[in-house]
Structure 1
Amino acid sequence: MDNLETRLVKLALKGDQRAFAEIVDLYKDRIFHLAYRMLSNRHEAEDVVQETFLRVYRNLDRYDPGQKFSTWIYRIGTNLSIDRLRKRKPTYSLDAEIGDQDGADGYALIPGDNRTPETEYMISETRTTIHEAIDGLPPKYKTVMILRYLQELSLQEISEVLDMPVTTIKTRVHRGREFLRKKLESPQR
């Protein structure tokens, strides 16, 4: 299969449209299944497949023949799926059709506000505990944890904000979580 892929890529680089069409045929189902597993949405998965092949077509000259073509194309599909997940905002339609739920409409899915004063107090206490635990972190972990979990920035964005390698950010997030876990597990208070 690797010989076939290499041959197809070389032909596609020379402008052979049929070779590129064969690459699409080889990978379209695999990329769709990958995207569908990540996104759980058929339309979004189809969009990812289309965007993946657009990127492959535009960047075929950047493909390094020293690496497996499948690894390269999967990376593109995975990154596009992850980007969609990050940008995804919950969408709710009150008039959306719902399977066989005896005529129930979207309004039935809206949760009631059944919070009692006790649950409000518990939520408030939990937030306070978490914020206090974050405040007690060493500064190099505190900044990363605030950017990651309170500001909801990606690791890449944090890397750019702090001008540090992503690997350093990952390490600090991991260690920060460990500090928090230990603080929250210890019965001090």
Structure 2
Amino acid sequence: MNNKNQNAAIAKLADEHGRLVFHTAYRLLGNSHSAEDVTQEVFIKLFKKPTNAFDSIKNWPAYLRTMASSAAIDQLRRRQRLAEESMDYSTNDEVPLLDKTQHNADPYREIALSRDIEHFSSALAELTAQDAHVFCLRHIEEFSYQEIAEQLGISNSLVGVTLHRAQQKLSQLVGESQFLGAGYEITG
């Protein structure tokens, strides 16, 4: 595949799967501007890939979801570092908040949920890259253990161990939360 063909292939992928990449990032970040940045970052990374790398990718939607999850987690980590460096929270545009178009009858619940999302995002950013990937692929993208194993090139049992480790770490950092998923899952 030459550069011209690669550019055309990436443009086609962006048309076909751009929304998927955006929604994957948005579910993690809760912010449309940040999700747009991640979407752009994912497709820019594709332009930087060697042309022969495209032939080895068998499942583009899964591959792009993984790239989007990874880029979103990286962005969460950058946010956390910036928040730690600067104690000025007055311009906290990057904190994932609830969609302003949603009207909830209980503003206290909305504030608590927003705080929970912020706390969870910070905790997710503290996981190792693989632990965060496995957690996101399982609980956000709803991949099966087998799909995660195939996507990351690891065994089903390692998926289970990694997921358990991620859930334990998140439980320590966040406590009981709606974001942690089932305490026990049936593998297979």
* TM tier, smaller: 0.3 to 0.5
| Higher relative contact order, structure no. (Cα contacts within 8 Å, ≥ 6 residues apart) | 2
Largest Rg, 1 or 2: 1
| TM-score (norm: length of structure 1) | 0.43
